[in-house]
Amino acid sequence: MPLIMRWLHIGAAITSVGGLFLLVSVILPSLRAADPEQATLLLRGALRRLWPALWILGAALLLSGFYAAALVRPSMTPTYHLVLGIKLLLSLAFLGTALVAIRPASDAPERLARRLDWARLALIFGVAAVLLSSYLWHLRVG
User: Residues 27-36: what's their mean pLDDT?
Assistant: 82
What spatial distance separates the first Cα and last Cα of the chain, rounded to whole Å? Answer: 23
16 pLDDT higher than 70: yes
Residue (of 53, 62, 60, 121) closest to 91 by Cα position: 62
pLDDT at residue number 137: 87
- 2, 86, 98, 142 from 16: Cα distances, Å: 21, 19, 9, 28
Outline where DSSP puts E strands in the chain. Answer: none
pLDDT at residue number 142: 63
